[in-house]
Structure 1
Amino acid sequence: MSKTASYLRFFPYDQPYDHQQEAMGTIYDALADGSDILFEGATGTGKTLASLAPALEYARETNKTVVITTNVHQQMRQFRRDASAINDQESIRAIVFRGKASMCHIDVGFEECQALRDTTRDLVDTEQDLADLERQQRDLLDESQAGDGGAAEARGAVMDELDGVQDDLAEFEDKATCDHYYQNLTADTDDFFAWLYDDVRTPDDIYERAGQYGFCGYELLKEGVEGVDLVVCNYHHLLDPMIRQQFFRWLGRDPEDVIAIFDEAHNVEDAARDHARRTLTENTLESALDELTESDDARADPAYNVLGTFLEALREAYDDAFAFGEREQVGENWHDLAVANDDRRDDLTLAFLQRYTGPGFSEELDHAVELGRDLDSEYEEEYKSGDATVRKECQTLQAATFVQSWLDEGDEMGTYPVVSVRRDDDGAGDVYGRAELYTCIPEQVTRDLFSELHASVLMSATLRPFEVTEDVLGLDSPETMAYGAQFPEERRRTYAVDGPALFASKRDDRGIQETITDTIEDAVRFTPGNTLVFFPSYSEAERYYERVYAGTSYLDEPGTAANDLRKQFAADDDGVLFTSLWGTLGEGVSFDGDDARTVIVVGVPYPHLDDRMEAVQAAYDEVFEVGDEEGTGQTVQTEDAGWHYAVEIPTVRKTRQAMGRVVRSPEDFGARILLDARYTERAEIEMEQYAVRGAFPTEERAEMVDVQPEKLKFGLLNFYQDVDAYDGDPPTP
């Protein structure tokens, strides 16, 4: 095997597709150059193995570790299967890593676990000291009995030390420890690790096996993960800066020794925002004030003053922000209230500054943070010593560090201050508030990550336009490659239905509803199997679930078990599933073969344009540039940069993801229907301002067949007859 093709030893199947082989070569060369890669590949292009094989080869050659990460549980299971297949051909040490909360046998939180772990380790160290001293005194006793006078004197000193260690050990009787972690430290774990690396184990397998041994599987993973070839994990292990630092330490790797592969990478933008957000609730502030009241430290009074003022300002801010009757409508979910201003600081900050009296809030906040750190250390020691049965969290520290960030960073570009409210007691109690610093620009989170890593591969079926991904995530001159659908074109068909343009203001129009209903019913009747229907919202999905009388209907609702619903739907043969494109079934969920034959996207599913989205658009308008000045190739700022980056492109990506739910193998076949005039060629001329067809990649636009609503059934009939899909006589138009 040639040097350039040596990565094929990590390809677990007979022969890669031609495009896979090309992609592997490109990725290997980019990794050798330390370059990031943006890799778009349609469903079935084999992106995962095309990325893993060269990454594992390069990592093996250069003593690095590959981390493949996703935010989709089904993909984690698939990665484990791929890694197991690779291991069957070429031995690798691979770990599937999951968060502590789902791996803990005694169900304690992070802070409590940390304290238990430290105390347990101290206990084991003390027991080891005792064993060492007992061995010394026995040896010295033998020597003294053999006539060595110096040994008797030395043994006396050891016995004194032994008495002290025995006293130390007795103190652990009242201290909280973890039996599972104790077993990790004292029992033989060789058999467990031999089993662990004999295959690629699931987190559930590890949890069960560790329980059988009485071990803590999570801590064993942390201790055994150093130097592995491959780790499968969730996004938060890389996107959360604090977790990432610990994670790399467990790996025994510096960031530059890590190659990261991001699956479903079009989701990194939103995931980075979620990991960057910081919040502080009214309840935490109240707990902090109670904590300070109980403290006799001189710093407690200034800390109480500044945090108490912020609490009063928070209440004033949300009281003033309520519109008439809005307070009464607040339920158990967080409800945003606008406090940001274009020409001055936000209303919460202004209320704080108006209310504050004292020597200076910066000085008092410094005292609050210092006191919080000291109190947190005290709580740690109390728990370790057994004086407390639970490990308390310092509310003062949480509150003070947040307020400090709010006042220092709240008016920075790309940071959006938000006040939200909800009701306690499951929506039946009083309203209380929350302050939040929302990060609009993911680059502020991701740029440092990508610059620290050796290289990364970001792969998805919907990464284009590459320049948008590059800008939003802060990537510097990445390699780019895109592979369209690789399956036979004659086994798929994409229709752009020139029906009503489903603007939000038109959705209640009776005539429009009748046209949409008739078109969906035609699609369901002429589909030889199941039909997936995606809408801009769950409410629209429910509307047509109640209107459509064709096939066996299934309704996906927020808060329900979507995977169970998917299984019921897939087991049917004339089902029609109504769901939101922004729900969990729109991407990362397979509907292979007979699971679904036709997918319909109804409308252009723009997200709800709330204040946060407007803040994101405004921030993108500030920092991003789109457009070409008179064909010169020079990119210029336009008014629509925020809309293009924050709304249009993510919406089209979501639509493309939904279209990819069908036709997922070379033998598969199916139809994709875009039900809205804005997807048609006509819209590009007559509705240029609203047309979205141009936002799709060129090869996908070329496959779109424009059709009138009443003609769709004939198109479906012809297509499904061509692929011999009907079992018996086809339906009659």
Structure 2
Amino acid sequence: MSEAIHISVRTLVEHVFKSGSIDSRFRSQSTLLDGTRIHQKIQKTYQEADQKEVYFRAEVPFEELSFIIDGRCDGLLFRGDEVIIEEIKSFSKMSEQIQNGGYPVHWAQAKMYAYMYAKDKVLEEIFVQLTYVHVETEVKTYYKKKCQISELEAFVGKIIEDYAPYAKLLHEHREKRNGSCKELAFPFDSYREGQRKLAGVVYKTILDEKNLFAKAPTGIGKTISTLFPSVKAIGEGLLNRVFYLTAKTITRTTAEEAFKKMRSSGLCINTLTITAKDKVCFKEETVCQKDYCEFANGYYDRINDAIHDILTNETGMTREVIEIYARKHTVCPFEFSIDLAYTVDCIICDYNYIFDPRVSLKRLFEEQKKQTALLVDEAHNLVDRGREMFSATLNKELFLQLKKDFKGVNKAIYESATKLNAWFISLKKENLDKYEFTIDHLDEELIEQLIQFIESAEQVLQTETSQTLLEAYFVVNNFLKITELLDEHYVVYAEKIKNNLLVKLFCIDPSKLLKQMGKGYRSKLFFSATLSPLSYYQEILGGQDDDYAISIPSPFSSDQVDVFINPLSTRYRDREQTKRSIVSSIQALIKNRHGNYFIFFPSYQYLLTVYDQFKQQDQETNTIIQASGMTETEREAFLAAFKPNQTETLLGFAVLGGIFSEGVDLIGDRLSGVVVVGVGLPQLCFERNLIKDHFIKKNKNGYDYAYVYPGMNKVLQAGGRLIRSEEDHGTIILIDDRFLERQYQMLMPLEWQQYTVGSPQTPLLKGK
């Protein structure tokens, strides 16, 4: 019995016929809307017997495979004895191929539909028609051909023949993959305490097509505990694809290592790590144009061979592997990884490829989503990332600069920028005595002026290059898109910064939009060591009443960690008076317990203040300090300084919530303890107070939502760097009197609650 390969007409013909270069020169953001509008306008002119958006499906056998091909054609027309398949294509610039008879890929699409209809209706001949429409003038260019069924059969046969090697490669891989997933045993000798329970809940969540919120302690092995049951679900036919989503590079590496471990136990699975375009680009500047970049020039002529090559020879497609094959085939490494994402079994990538409407992998069809699970690692980070994704900002300086740049150069842009700059000036004058203020509603005048600006900018950018105008165009376009989302989950506010005025559409509560962007997937699994309190994260991340939730206790003994609370005030007003006491607390620790320590602070400025005081009192102890804007090489060097078996003490001064307070895994005695200065509260500010007020109005504890929960999350993450295995021992010092208050203690893990008030003044027997 032949095996079935399901594929859409468009995917099939684009694989065989798509050619040319990547070219990211300006394209109007309204192109898609124009195309839809033009399609609908032409379809409204159809005669009574004509049909639009007609669904076709055909089964085409080829060797041991059977291709099930489907799709919708734009129009099925009847003109006397003629039956015509019409494909409508809109364009903004006349190309040589449109002038000379149309694109081969468009003809192929129309002919596929013609074959399906003629075969079904037993027709000897059928007509195909390409209708090209200019988006601005709506001038139409028609191309029409008569096709015999024998010709169409041969044409479709050739397409299938060209696609078959790739289809066979994928099919054979999936056969091996499914078998290996089914047979795979847990890749470690035994489960850690709590690990089997988490893995079981993950599998049941996928089986039941539910969502899961899991608080699982640091060191339990969350990555393997979520990936292993997901892989088993692939073997049982429940899933076909898994996304492992994370906010940090270091946790992507952990996922890569988990797959490597499972492969060593017999797993056959393709994984891909997507790296941001600006990081992976081979050129000095990220300019995706054929006349600048050889990796963009002719990209579509070479991409099929590149994909076939890498899938034939690799299973773990990390950044390094992608770069090797991208250079070998002279293709853009970023676009290469995006195209690969639709073929592999597991994608390791940032949250935004799923949740950000501007970036998401839009070619993932609903049917594919139903067989896909989202594993959201360190899910606490998705709260602020979600707010960021769904917010938008405009500022006065943008339009003042455009006004200066285009004076005497382009009247339309100059006048549009002048009007928008004047709108900001008027808003400033209305609020002279305020530095920050909310705006009840955006007036229609502003929206109309922004739309006019977009239209004027599009006219210029079609023929000219202006980086300032292009950046402004995208900023304004995004702002307009977000205006369409405004509801009770948003607050619009303005902020004066010197002579500039910023207006922000601030998504206070991202729950609705996160839920919307995650719609259609079989299961979403949110997990972190610090989803505390669980109910808060369920609410703010778009959870539903019937979602599953689990809190796994720590597998580690409270005897493995000594926790001290030093009740000093770290409030802003008291910092100058208590900094010497903080330094004394650190010195008492290292005097009695030698080793490597992280010292975390709620802000970089506070860090520098205490660091300077420490260096005045102690010139001998080795110290390193987190710098702002560190490169990956600098980060690696910082962590490499935490060596095992050191005879001298090392102190690493770092920032809570920063690159070293999450996802860092310093095994054994590479880390002896963690000192956390302060309860991590975000700085008091207008935006945080808007969050507080918003949730108070919803009868929630707004101060906790805006300040306490985000702050303590950073504290818990930082402390979680310490105990990573059953063999680890160490010291945690929490410096702040608020750690003794009930609202903070309720958020502490159980193993921290057996604490001592004060500082360790004498050495204890156990050390890490």
State whether structure 2 residue 594 is matched by structure 1 residue 528: yes
State whether structure 2 residue 308 is matched by structure 1 residue 308: no
State whether structure 2 residue 641 is matched by structure 1 residue 568: yes
* Contact residue 489 and residue 510 of structure 2 kept, 8 A: no
* Contact residue 558 and residue 751 of structure 2 kept, 8 A: no
Partner Cα distance (2:707, 2:537) in 1:
13
Q: Call closer, same or farther: CA 1:29–1:292 in 2, change over 3 Å.
A: farther
Aligned pairs for 1:32-431 within 5 A: 32-60=207-235, 61-88=237-264, 89-106=266-283, 109=286, 113=288, 116=289, 178=294, 180-182=296-298, 185-186=301-302, 189=305, 193-194=309-310, 198-246=314-362, 248=364, 254-282=368-396, 284-286=398-400, 300=412, 307-315=417-425, 317=427, 338-341=435-438, 345=440, 365-373=450-458, 379=462, 382=463, 394=470, 397-398=473-474, 401=477, 404=480, 413-419=489-495, 421=497
Instruction: Provide Cα deviations, 1:587-624, integer angstroms capped at 9, x if missing partner.
Output: 1222222221011112222110111111111122233x
Which one of the candidate residues 708, 725, 730 is aligned to 1:670?
A: 730
Instruction: Provide Cα deviations, 1:120-139, integer angstroms capped at 9, x if missing partner.
Output: 7xxxxxxxxxxxxxxxxxxx
State whether structure 2 residue 624 is matched by structure 1 residue 554: yes
Which one of the candidate residues 583, 587, 591 is aligned to 1:517?
A: 583
User: Which residue identity does 1:95 align to in structure 2?
Assistant: L
Instruction: Provide Cα deviations, 1:353-395, integer angstroms capped at 9, x if missing partner.
Output: 9xxxxxx66655554444555655xx2xx5xxxxx78999656
State the match for 1:704 in structure 2: 754
What secondary structure is seen at the aligned counterpart in 2 of 1:583?
coil
**TM-score, normalized by length of structure 2?**
0.67
Partner Cα distance (1:441, 1:528) in 2:
45
* Contact residue 244 and residue 374 of structure 2 kept, 8 A: yes
State whether structure 2 residue 537 is matched by structure 1 residue 469: yes
State the match for 1:503 in structure 2: 571
How much does 1:73 deviate?
0.9
User: Which residue identity does 1:310 align to in structure 2?
Assistant: L
Higher share of residues assigned strand: 2
Instruction: Provide Cα deviations, 1:545-587, integer angstroms capped at 9, x if missing partner.
Output: 2333453222323334444323234475401222222332211
Partner Cα distance (1:364, 1:47) in 2:
50
* CA RMSD, 1 decimal: 3.5
Partner Cα distance (1:610, 1:661) in 2:
29
Aligned pairs for 1:635-674 within 5 A: 637=699, 641-674=701-734
Partner Cα distance (2:696, 2:706) in 1:
10
Which one of the candidate residues 457, 482, 503 is aligned to 1:435?
A: 503
User: Which residue identity does 2:734 align to in structure 1?
Assistant: L
State whether structure 2 residue 608 is matched by structure 1 residue 542: yes
State whether structure 2 residue 191 is matched by structure 1 residue 16: yes
User: Which residue identity does 1:490 align to in structure 2?
Assistant: D
Instruction: Provide Cα deviations, 1:402-456, integer angstroms capped at 9, x if missing partner.
Output: 675687777955223233547xxxxxxxx65543322221214312123332211
State the match for 2:688 in structure 1: 613
Higher share of residues assigned helix: 1
State the match for 2:745 in structure 1: 693
What secondary structure is seen at the aligned counterpart in 1 of 2:344?
coil
* Contact residue 493 and residue 505 of structure 2 kept, 8 A: yes
Q: Call closer, same or farther: CA 1:227–1:503 in 2, change over 3 Å.
A: same
Partner Cα distance (1:411, 1:485) in 2:
40
State whether structure 2 residue 520 is matched by structure 1 residue 457: no
Q: Call closer, same or farther: CA 1:228–1:504 in 2, change over 3 Å.
A: same
Q: Call closer, same or farther: CA 1:389–1:649 in 2, change over 3 Å.
A: closer
User: Which residue identity does 1:23 align to in structure 2?
Assistant: L
Partner Cα distance (2:201, 2:324) in 1:
41
User: Which residue identity does 2:273 align to in structure 1?
Assistant: V
How much does 1:263 deviate?
1.0
Aligned pairs for 1:482-497 within 5 A: 482-497=551-566
Q: Call closer, same or farther: CA 1:399–1:584 in 2, change over 3 Å.
A: closer
Q: Call closer, same or farther: CA 1:507–1:264 in 2, change over 3 Å.
A: same
Structure 2, unpaired ranges of 5+: 1-177
* Contact residue 216 and residue 551 of structure 2 kept, 8 A: yes
Q: Call closer, same or farther: CA 1:608–1:260 in 2, change over 3 Å.
A: same
How much does 1:269 deviate?
0.3
Aligned pairs for 1:627-642 within 5 A: 637=699, 641-642=701-702
Count of matched residue pairs: 577
* Contact residue 617 and residue 642 of structure 1 kept, 8 A: yes
Partner Cα distance (2:457, 2:188) in 1:
57
State the match for 2:550 in structure 1: 481
What secondary structure is seen at the aligned counterpart in 1 of 2:189?
coil
Partner Cα distance (2:336, 2:627) in 1:
39
User: Which residue identity does 2:277 align to in structure 1?
Assistant: K
Partner Cα distance (1:255, 1:293) in 2:
52
How much does 1:650 deviate?
1.3
Instruction: Provide Cα deviations, 1:675-694, integer angstroms capped at 9, x if missing partner.
Output: 223223xx45xxxxxx6212
Percent identical: 19
Partner Cα distance (1:37, 1:679) in 2:
30
Partner Cα distance (2:307, 2:358) in 1:
32
* Contact residue 602 and residue 680 of structure 2 kept, 8 A: yes
Q: Call closer, same or farther: CA 1:235–1:411 in 2, change over 3 Å.
A: closer
What secondary structure is seen at the aligned counterpart in 2 of 1:508?
helix
How much does 1:465 deviate?
1.0
How much does 1:670 deviate?
0.8
Structure 1, unpaired ranges of 5+: 121-174, 324-336, 354-359, 383-387, 423-430, 624-636, 685-690, 726-733
Ranked by relative contact order (alpha carbons within 8 Å, sequence separation 6 or more), the top structure is 1
Partner Cα distance (1:500, 1:314) in 2:
45
**TM-score, normalized by length of structure 1?**
0.70
